[in-house]
Amino acid sequence: MAEKLKIGLIVGTTRDGRFADRALDWFEGKIAAREDLDYEVLDLREAKLPFFDEAAPPAAKPVTSPEAQEWERKLEACDGFIVLTAEYNHSIPATIKNAFDYAFKGWHRKPIGTVGYGGVGAARAVEHLRLIAVNFGMVPVRGAVSIGGADFVKASQGTPIAELGDHLDAPARELLDDMVFWGRAAKQAKAEAAREQHRPAAR
């Protein structure tokens, strides 16, 4: 059996009363049922990243913030990421953008997927996030979960997402299948690139 991939589930909002906890509770059950994936919850509320104020971007110079250094270590331990995101004013929450700005190596050349929620299922935020991810050489996967419209209203009023029906199961499965495919492909490609880099030059 192929080695399990480790996926970071990034909880993107930090406000009190956030919907993210309901989405996480449901989605953890989906990923925990997989035999080809492990995961770690990376909660930005717990990461406590300061607002970005480094002298240079992480791609150019290591960060000095202890919280950001720990954040980078956690990212580097993952083979890919699924971001649970709301939509704030047609984009991602500032906490997510700040988390991206505070790292580089941990994001580089890994797949990224989304579980979006809100009135329109965070569709505009997800598209913005995909553009940001491309800057890090990431692979935004096609599969995605969108909890919007009546589903979002019912869940906001207390209905567990698992009780909304089975129509969200297929998108969740497609998302996780894509993470496995692209996660393995990226990991293999990076390993081959590393071997090539250390191969003695032909004479």
Contacts of residue 134, Cβ cutoff 8 Å, sequence gap at least 6: 140
- Band (199; pLDDT cuts 50, 70, 90): confident
Is residue 146 pLDDT above 80, yes or no?
yes
Kindly report the CA angle at 75 between 70 and 77, in degrees rounded to 5?
100
Q: Is the pTM of this model over 0.75?
A: yes
Is residue 203 pLDDT above 80, yes or no?
no
* Count of other CB atoms within 10 angstroms of residue 13: 23
CA-based nearest residue to 79, from 3, 193, 169, 143: 3
pLDDT in tens, 64-115: 999 999 999 999 999 999 999 999 999 999 999 999 999 999 999 999 999 9
The pLDDT value recorded for residue 159 is 97
Kindly report the CA angle at 90 between 180 and 147, in degrees rounded to 5?
50
Cβ atoms of 19 and 87 within 8 Å: the answer is no
- Band (194; pLDDT cuts 50, 70, 90): confident
Which ranges in 33-148 belong to alpha helices (H)? 44-47, 66-76, 94-101, 123-135
Which domains can be identified in the chain, with CATH numbers?
A: 5-197 (3.40.50.360)
Residue 200 φ then ψ, to 5°? -60, 140
The distance in angstroms from the start CA to the end CA of the chain is 39
Length of the chain: 203
* Count of other CB atoms within 10 angstroms of residue 157: 7
* Count of other CB atoms within 10 angstroms of residue 12: 29
Q: Which two tokens stand for residue 12?
A: 């993107």
